[in-house]
Structure 1
Amino acid sequence: MELPADRPHRSFPRLIQNEATTEIPFHLLFRDDPGPAAGHGAGSGGGGHLSPAPVALGPAVVGSRRGTGEQPRFRRRVPSPARPAPGVDAALVERPARALPGAAGVLAGACGAAGCVLTSWWAGALPPLAAQALRLPQAAGTGLGLPQWAAYAGAGALGLLGFGGLARGRTGRAWVLGLFGRYRGTVWRTGLIWVNPLVPRRRIDVRLRHWRSDPLPATDADGIALRVAVLVVWRVRDTARAALGIDDHEAYLRACVEAALARVALRAPGCGPGAAQAAGDALTRLVAREVGPVGLEVCAVRPARIEYAPEIAEAMHRRAVAVLDARERAGALTSVVDSVEDTVTRLAVRGLVDLDDGARKVLVRDLTVAFCAGRRETSR
């Protein structure tokens, strides 16, 4: 812009000024000339073109843009392709397979059937009643030649492909497709669908399931043999690895549960729900880590029944009965002693009897015998 010679030079208004940035002149934000124009400034005696020199913006201006009103610039990140987990075959990573709506298969099959009927009419092999029902004119009856057989083959192939590829997708089930021993994808769609009939398919259940094991061997913290029945809640997470990685899911779960039981010290029967909960959490973590690489997900592993091994069950039963009997006897003796002491103390405090040491011992003995006999009679 040109400035008159008689007009004094004035400073441009400051647009952006805060504590996080330095002052930026207004004309620098909207300048069109990116290059420097040194030597073209306004002279002292006359007008000229005002081309300010480039201003070096420091890191305080460029790096900090808070409060300036300038929107930050974001680069669009290109998602990197998913990588399989370590130790897992890249060909066994679940991916969607191609499937069409069932209407496409029905339409193709209907067209194939219609083509076979028209070819039969063309060859004169269609019964007259069928031709009248279909309102077809009377054909010349050229017979079955090479063109008719080619039409039959094309229409039949179309009908077989259309009707043969129809499948019913259900909620909680998926179709795993494979061709020549290679995984081709998984179909998760529900309803009537069309899948290429030339590709073998296998239906797999992806619902939440539970499995109760037979009594498995285990040991407690003291090394005593136990038998544990475990309830496992699980489901298929990756259909490719679950269908093609292992043959029998329940057999694999059994092996993983047995391996986990060998590393977890269980508590003996009757130790309370807290011990069973802690053992279940430890078993869940171990089994979930083992079955993860084969596409299974374990939600919970809980001991359903814990009992002693048959070879030591009778001995442990006798031991438990002896412990309970000893505990009962100790409790009864403590109760009798407390009752005798309370009785003797109350008699002495109230002055009902004046006892020396010998009489006190006789009274204590008689009271103990009486209380024990009364407790025995009460227990009967």
Structure 2
Amino acid sequence: MTHTANGPSHDPSDPTRPTDSSDTRSPDLPEMPAPRVTEFPAHSIPGGLALLLGLLGVVAAVALVVLGASIAAAGGKFALIGIGILLFLGSLLAMSGLNMVAPGEARVVQLFGRYRGTIRTDGLRWVNPLTTRNKISTRVRNHETAVLKVNDAYGNPIELAAVVVWRVEDTAQALFEVDDFLEFVSTQTEAAVRHIAIEYPYDAHEEAGLSLRGNAEEITEKLAVELHARVEAAGVHIVESRFTHLAYAPEIASAMLQRQQAGAVVAARKLIVEGAVGMVEQALARITEQDIVELDEERKAAMVSNLLVVLCGDRATQPVINTGSLYQ
């Protein structure tokens, strides 16, 4: 994002520029009202010149008062003192229009309730002293939700929390479109996290299905899209969002742990059996190829059974030595 002297301007070719709501809108995303006011630069001048003129006005006012006090004529005395007092008050009023803007801050200018623009240029700036200037931070901020307890798509109670990195992009929308943009971001973040949690299971029973634990990157992208749709009305841009805590609720954690362990055991056994079958197949092929011994189908079946028991068993086997013939 690039900035002009007093406000932001967006490059359409910038890949980091947030997409318009029409680009990412889906039926599941909330419909926010269109903004009634958007940010534009406020008219301001460098504050150094205004400060110099104000100080010169104060010095001139003091000089007029002193000069008027030294004049004997009553008419000239009151005139000079009156002009000096008015000039002094006018200079103080003019200098009240000075604003110190730090980097990462902005001033939202209002004149009699009407929005008159935003000052983003850092340093000393001067605007109409009759206006009110509200300071608003445009720095990057973090918001971490509390640990939320919700039911996933399968109805299992889970606990999750997320952290959102965001910043104010449109100061006018942040100040005028919502009552309190900080509370708005907090509430909408929690709502988005809850909505994502109930849309997907913690663990998918189907291999092709999305799950909160197994597809963290895809779910995070969906969370970012939904967050952008929810907070764009407040002029807020979501930089990044991540889940910081994801677990089953304590009341079912032990049962789900047993289920996960059982699934791991089944997967391990499947891998062991596949490897054992390959080894048995290779052994039979080598025996036949090198004509080590001639086995009939019954003895092949017995050999396969014995090898599978040895290879797939979880304990050490106890060999039995046959001292007789092959068929006894």
TM range (shorter): 0.5 to 0.7
Q: Distance in 1 between matches of 2:310 and 2:216?
A: 45
Q: Which residue pairs with 2:99 in the alignment?
A: 167
Q: Distance in 1 between matches of 2:183 and 2:113?
A: 23
Equivalent of residue 336 in structure 1, options 273, 276, 282 = 276
> Residues 99 and 371 from structure 1, CA distance in 2 versus in 1: closer, same or farther, beyond 3 angstroms?
closer
Percent identity (aligned): 30
Q: Distance in 1 between matches of 2:78 and 2:203?
A: 82
Q: Is the contact between residue 112 and residue 157 of structure 1 (CA under 8 Å) also seen in structure 2? A: no
CA shift for structure 1 position 177: 1.9
> Residues 262 and 176 from structure 1, CA distance in 2 versus in 1: closer, same or farther, beyond 3 angstroms?
same
CA shift for structure 1 position 309: 3.3
Tell whether 2:193 aligns with 1:253: no
CA shift for structure 1 position 202: 0.9
Q: Which residue pairs with 1:202 in the alignment?
A: 134
Q: Which residue pairs with 2:257 in the alignment?
A: 317
TM-score (norm. length: structure 2): 0.66
Q: Is the contact between residue 111 and residue 155 of structure 1 (CA under 8 Å) also seen in structure 2? A: no
Aligned residues: 276
Q: Which residue pairs with 1:105 in the alignment?
A: 50
CA shift for structure 1 position 267: 5.3
User: Which protein is bigger by CA-based radius of gyration?
Assistant: 1
CA shift for structure 1 position 172: 4.0
Q: Distance in 1 between matches of 2:250 and 2:84?
A: 72
TM-score (norm. length: structure 1): 0.58
Query: Which amino acid in structure 1 is aligned with residue 283 of structure 2?
Result: T
Stretch of structure 1 that moved more, 274-283 or 153-162: 274-283
Q: Is the contact between residue 212 and residue 229 of structure 1 (CA under 8 Å) also seen in structure 2? A: yes
CA shift for structure 1 position 106: 1.4
> Residues 356 and 211 from structure 1, CA distance in 2 versus in 1: closer, same or farther, beyond 3 angstroms?
same
> Residues 195 and 322 from structure 1, CA distance in 2 versus in 1: closer, same or farther, beyond 3 angstroms?
same
Q: Which residue pairs with 1:19 in the alignment?
A: none
Secondary structure (helix, strand or coil) at the match of 2:164 reads: strand
State the Cα deviation string for residues 266-304 of structure 1 (Å, max 9, x = none). 353696999333323333333323323332333554445
Q: Is the contact between residue 173 and residue 204 of structure 1 (CA under 8 Å) also seen in structure 2? A: yes
Q: Is the contact between residue 174 and residue 188 of structure 1 (CA under 8 Å) also seen in structure 2? A: yes
Q: Is the contact between residue 68 and residue 81 of structure 2 (CA under 8 Å) also seen in structure 1? A: no
Q: Which residue pairs with 2:228 in the alignment?
A: 288
Query: Which amino acid in structure 2 is aligned with residue 106 of structure 1?
Result: L
Secondary structure (helix, strand or coil) at the match of 1:107 reads: helix
Q: Which has the higher contact order (CA 8 A, sep 6+)?
A: 2
CA shift for structure 1 position 175: 0.9
Query: Which amino acid in structure 1 is aligned with residue 276 of structure 2?
Result: V
Query: Which amino acid in structure 1 is aligned with residue 202 of structure 2?
Result: A
Tell whether 2:158 aligns with 1:226: yes
> Residues 167 and 336 from structure 1, CA distance in 2 versus in 1: closer, same or farther, beyond 3 angstroms?
same
Q: Distance in 2 between matches of 1:258 and 1:113?
A: 54
Secondary structure (helix, strand or coil) at the match of 1:316 reads: helix
Unaligned runs of 5+ in 2: 1-31, 205-210, 317-328
Q: Distance in 2 between matches of 1:273 and 1:371?
A: 33
Query: Which amino acid in structure 2 is aligned with residue 195 of structure 1?
Result: V
Unaligned runs of 5+ in 1: 1-85, 125-138
Equivalent of residue 268 in structure 1, options 196, 199, 202 = 202
CA shift for structure 1 position 231: 4.0
